[in-house]
Structure 1
């Protein structure tokens, strides 16, 4: 059994907080620890910000899509995608401190943060066709069941 939700929103920076809050509210049914909740919300923030700044290069008429799936075993899967410019060199983009927009004073730590907070991160991208991130995390089971 699984439960899932999908969210599509415009690529405006104001929607980054909305995406964080929505995913955070959805996963509360798993009773995550505060650390888990904070890490997942941070990952959503990093991915959405990357789509806005790098994927769409500030265009505000494009959409970002999030699909969040909760599996019976308390595993979370996040799929965040855009139809932006894509990533030319995924390996280079995942290097700590690498940024394609140094003029915007970006830290270049987005993928590093995503990799450290999630159990797995897969990046699929094609230049001119967008980027899809698939991230998974096994959450700690904190609810106790009385027998």
Structure 2
């Protein structure tokens, strides 16, 4: 069996740091570089923040994170049961935001995509969103 982590928490912005630290602590066993760890923490922060701010807007809900390790690769799934994304391809465009009144940068998905090896976003209106990120550690390290 692969090693895994499951975490569920209320959709409160103060729990975003909990998600970052929990995932970082979990993947520490793969001995990532500081850069790899920082990139992963940033990607997790963006996904969790999107779930809280955009998924649930101004209502309470839950965010779930599942992480699984296979060799030197982590798969992270972040889910909400929020409003869903009407057009995932549009949402993946740089500078797009569904809540311009919050003065968000609209770069969340672009940032996630740049810091992981694979990003998949599935969403259904009224049912929620599932973000799957895959990152392999040590892929760019020179072997001596």
Contact 1:87–1:127 (8 Å) recurs in 2: yes
Provide the secondary structure at the position in 2 that maps to 1:67: strand
CA drift at 1:41 = 0.5
Unaligned runs of 5+ in 2: none
The residue that corresponds to 1:65 in the other structure is 64
Number of equivalenced pairs: 141
CA drift at 1:59 = 1.8
CA drift at 1:2 = 1.7
Provide the secondary structure at the position in 2 that maps to 1:88: coil
Unaligned runs of 5+ in 1: none
1:21 and 2:9 matched = no
CA distance in 2, matches of 1:109, 1:69: 26
CA drift at 1:58 = 2.8
The residue that corresponds to 2:123 in the other structure is 125
How big is each residue's C-alpha offset from its partner over 1:10-54, in whole Å with a ceiling of 9 and x where there is no partner?
Answer: 000000001100111111000100001001100110001000110
Provide the secondary structure at the position in 2 that maps to 1:14: helix
Contact 1:124–1:131 (8 Å) recurs in 2: yes
The equivalences for 1:1-147 within 5 A come to: 1-60=1-60, 62-72=61-71, 74-140=72-138
**CA RMSD, aligned part only?**
1.3
CA distance in 2, matches of 1:31, 1:83: 33
Query: What is the TM-score when the length of structure 1 is the normalising length?
Result: 0.93
Query: What is the TM-score when the length of structure 2 is the normalising length?
Result: 0.94
CA distance in 2, matches of 1:105, 1:5: 33
CA distance in 1, matches of 2:19, 2:117: 21
